[in-house]
Amino acid sequence: MVSSSERVFILGGTGNVGSKTTRDLIAKGIPVTLYARQPEKAKASFENNSLVNIIQGDYKDLAPLKEGLKGHTRLFLLIADMYNMIHLKKTIAAWAYEAGIKQIVDISSFTVSCPLRTTFIGVNHYESEQAIYHLPNRGAYVALRPGRFMSNIFMFDGLQFSKDIIFDTVDADKPQGWVSPNDIGAVAAVVLSEDIEKHGDSVYELNSDVATPAQRVAYLSRILGREIKYKQVNSLEKYDMLMSTGHLSHPFAYCLSTNLASYDMQNPTITDGIHVLLRRKPETLEKYLEDNKHLFK
C-alpha cells in the first residue's frame, strides 16, 4: 500500500465505475477528493467518510477544478461528455501535471483498439488518449480500455420496452464480451495505489466475461424468476428502439446498433490480465446481474 502522503483527485467518482474506485481507495486509507455538482449527496454516498473531500463544481466553470488539483499526487479521469471529451481531458490533464500530479488513470474505451476512425466513440477516445499522451513534460499516463459495460443491460437491452424480451442484432449463440463496472473501478484503484513506475504508461484492455444472448436470457430468467426471451432484430430496428429512449444521440445509437466491417468485435475473449491486476478472477455477467437484480423494474 502507498504512503498516506498520496492523495487522489477523482473526476466521475459517483457513477458505477468511479464509486468503486473511490471505495477501494478509502478502504486502503488513501484520501480522495471528488469533484461533484452536489457535494452533500456525494459525501453521503460514501457515508461521510473523513477520507473523502468534496469540491463543488461542473464542467461549465473549470476554475474550482483547476485550483482543486493542487496538492494531489494522482488523478482518476472519467469524462462522459463525448462531444467535449477531447478538450476537457486535454485541458484537465495539462493542469494536473502542471499542479504536480504524477499519474493519471484515464477511463477510455476498447474501441480505441479498433482501426482508426471506425466509430464515433472510438475516435473521441483515441483523440483524447493522444492529446494526453503527447503533452510535454507529462507524468505517467495509464489508459483503461473497457469493453461493453454490463450496466448497459439495464438501459439498452430491451426490458424497458417489454417485460419479457431482450433484443440484439446477433445470433442467440454468438459470444459477446462484457465488462463489469466493478472490475473497471477496481483496476483503476489498484493502479492508483501501487508504485507509479510499475504501471508506467500502460494500456489495459478490459473484458470481464463472454456470454451469448442465450446465456444472458438464461441468467435473467433465473435471477428475475420469470421467463425472459431473446429476439434477434436487424440494425435499423435496434437503432430505432435505442433512439426512442431519448437518451442517445445518432452517433451513439449508430455505434451500438451496427457492426464494423473492418474489425470483428463479435469474437471476444475474457481479459485474463484482470486476474493479474486484481489477484482475483473477473466478475462474471451472471454474478453482476444477480447482485443488481433490484435495478430491473
**Band of residue 154 on the pLDDT scale cut at 50, 70, 90:** confident
144/186 Cα distance (integer angstroms): 11
Cβ within 8 Å of residue 284, ≥6 positions away: 208, 209
Residue 215 has a CB neighbour count (10 Å cut-off) of 18
Q: Note the pLDDT tens digit of each residue in 138-148.
A: 999 999 999 99
**pLDDT computed for residue 159 by the predictor:** 72
**pLDDT computed for residue 263 by the predictor:** 57
More confident residue, 2 or 90: 90
144/189 Cα distance (integer angstroms): 12
Q: Is residue 15 part of a domain?
A: yes
Helix (H, G, I), strand (E, B) or coil at 85: helix
Q: Is residue 136 part of a domain?
A: yes
Q: What is the mean pLDDT of residues 67-73?
A: 97
Asked whether the predicted pLDDT for residue 13 surpasses 70, the reply is: yes
DSSP string, 173-188: T--EEEB-HHHHHHHH
Q: Is residue 33 part of a domain?
A: yes
pTM over cut 0.85: yes
Question: Per the structure, how many domains does the chain have?
Answer: 1
Q: What is the mean pLDDT of residues 73-95?
A: 97
Amino acid present at 95: W
Q: Is residue 68 within 8 Å of residue 9, measured between CB atoms?
A: yes
Q: CATH no. for residue 81?
A: 3.40.50.720
Q: Is residue 100 part of a domain?
A: yes
Residues in the chain: 297
**pLDDT computed for residue 46 by the predictor:** 93
Mean pLDDT of the chain: 91
**Band of residue 289 on the pLDDT scale cut at 50, 70, 90:** very high
**Band of residue 279 on the pLDDT scale cut at 50, 70, 90:** confident
Lowest mean pLDDT among 185-189, 266-270, 275-279: 266-270
Q: What is the mean pLDDT of residues 87-92?
A: 98
**pLDDT computed for residue 28 by the predictor:** 96
Asked whether the predicted pLDDT for residue 265 surpasses 80, the reply is: no
Asked whether the predicted pLDDT for residue 1 surpasses 60, the reply is: no
Q: Is residue 219 part of a domain?
A: no
Q: Note the pLDDT tens digit of each residue in 243-258.
A: 998 888 999 888 888 8
DSSP string, 56-84: E--SS--HHHHHHTTT-SEEEE----TTT
**pLDDT computed for residue 2 by the predictor:** 47
Q: Is residue 51 part of a domain?
A: yes
DSSP string, 132-200: HHT-TT--EEEEEEE-SBGGGHHHHSSTTT-SSEEEESS-TT--EEEB-HHHHHHHHHHHHHS-HHHHT
Q: Is residue 163 part of a domain?
A: no
Q: Is residue 214 part of a domain?
A: no
- Could you tell me the residue range of the domain that residue 33 belongs to? 8-148+179-208+268-283
Question: Looking up cell 437518451, which residue turns up?
Answer: 247
**pLDDT computed for residue 262 by the predictor:** 60
